[in-house]
Amino acid sequence: RNGDGRAVLRSSVREFLCSEAMHYLGIPTSRAASLVVSNDDVWRDQFYNGNIKKERGAIVLRLAKSWFRIGSLEILAHAGELDLLRRLLDFIIQEHFPSIAMNDSNKYLEFFSTVVSETANLIALWMSVGFAHGVCNTDNFSLLSITIDYGPFGFMESYDPNFVPNTSDDERRYKIGNQANVGLFNLSKLLQALKPLLDPRQKQLASQILEGYGEHYYIRFTELFKTKLGLLGENEDDNYLIAFLLKVSLLK
């Protein structure tokens, strides 16, 4: 796609600051350990309006428990590398999912269930602070459900479900109001990658788990907004109030 793979100082500073902000907001994220400025010149069209300017390059050293993504499994399944897929999955589960027993015949099902619920939780947390990732493809979704690969992200100033921080996203695929749906799409791709390792019963159960994603997300989203509003207990009008206040913000 004619990309040079480089980052400019401007975007690197944004990434450093945002990953630290997300951490202190209590949102699972990779963190920036250092920022190194490069002497190499990088040419960028910052606003995609044909005005290309020379900028200074930079490198951010990012830290996370793991950089395995949904795409890490997807590519192996697509290539038919099932033995390698199984070995990688076993490694990921053993290293990062200690609650799952390696001798459990349903370990891949348990893994999928955990990723589904934690992904729903992560996106609900994004929405609770008005964070739009900008590029929510399967290669940018962590299997540990942490925020990775900060790029053209943004925070909404006021509520707008059509907010898009990525100026190259002409189709608004990754608009903030679509993040939960894109999460479901990515998890369906994860299930597709896992299916060659599941028996017929497990495949059926995995499909049911995926169907529960929306409820997981909705419950967590509601909990977070009720906390922000100081609402106690359960009231059938809580969800109406949340939706009403978001709509008022949109009208403003």
CA gap 70, 63 in Å, rounded: 18
47 and 95 in a single domain? The answer is no
Q: Same domain for 135 and 52?
A: no
On whether residue 1 sits in a domain, the answer given is no
Phi first, then psi, for residue 38 (nearest 5°) are: -100, 155
Q: Which residues, other chains included, contact 177 with Cβ-Cβ below 8 Å and sequence gap of 6+?
A: 161, 162, 163
Helix (H, G, I), strand (E, B) or coil at 41: strand
DSSP state for residue 175 in the 8-state scheme: -
H or E element at residue 154 = strand 154-155
- What pTM was estimated for this model as a whole? 0.92
Residue 149 included in any domain: yes
Domain interval for residue 196: 70-227
Cα distances (angstroms) measured from residue 209 to each of 79, 110, 120, 202, 233: 26, 10, 12, 10, 28
Q: Do residue 78 and residue 202 come from a single domain?
A: yes
Stated length of the chain? 252
H and E: helices and strands count for the chain: 8, 5
Q: Check whether residue 209 and residue 140 sit in a common domain.
A: yes
Whose structure tokens read 């403003």? 252
Per the structure, the count of domains in the chain is: 2
13 and 109 part of one domain = no
Catalytic annotation on 139? yes
Distance between CA atoms of residues 205 and 158, nearest Å: 40
> So what's the pLDDT on residue 1?
55
**Secondary structure of the chain: what % helix, strand, coil (to 5)?**
50, 15, 35
Determine the pLDDT at residue 252. Answer: 54
Q: What long-range pairs does 184-189 form, CB within 8 A, spacing at least 24?
A: 184/210, 184/213, 184/214, 186/70, 186/119, 186/136, 186/137, 186/138, 186/141, 187/70, 187/115, 187/116, 187/119, 187/213, 189/70, 189/74, 189/138
Q: Are residues 219 and 149 in the same domain?
A: yes
Give dist(CA 246, CA 248) in Å, integer. Answer: 5
Residues 132, 202 within the same domain: yes
Are 82 and 207 in a shared domain? Answer: yes
Nearest to 69 by CA among 129, 133, 144: 144
Same domain, 105 and 128: yes
Q: Which of 90, 139, 160, 169 is catalytic?
A: 139
What is the reported pLDDT for 234? Answer: 85
Q: What is the pLDDT along the chain (252 residues), one digit of tens a residue?
A: 567 788 999 999 999 999 999 999 999 999 999 999 998 889 988 877 889 999 999 999 999 999 999 999 999 999 999 999 999 999 999 999 999 999 999 999 999 999 999 999 999 999 999 999 999 999 999 999 999 999 889 999 888 999 999 888 888 999 999 999 999 999 999 999 999 999 999 999 999 999 999 999 999 999 999 999 998 888 888 888 998 888 887 655
In a domain, 161, yes or no: yes
Burial 189-210 (b: 16+ CB within 10 A, else e): bbbebbeebbeeebbebbeebb
CA distance 173 to 176: 9
Whether 184 and 111 share a structural domain: yes
Asked, for residue 50, whether it belongs to a domain, the answer is yes
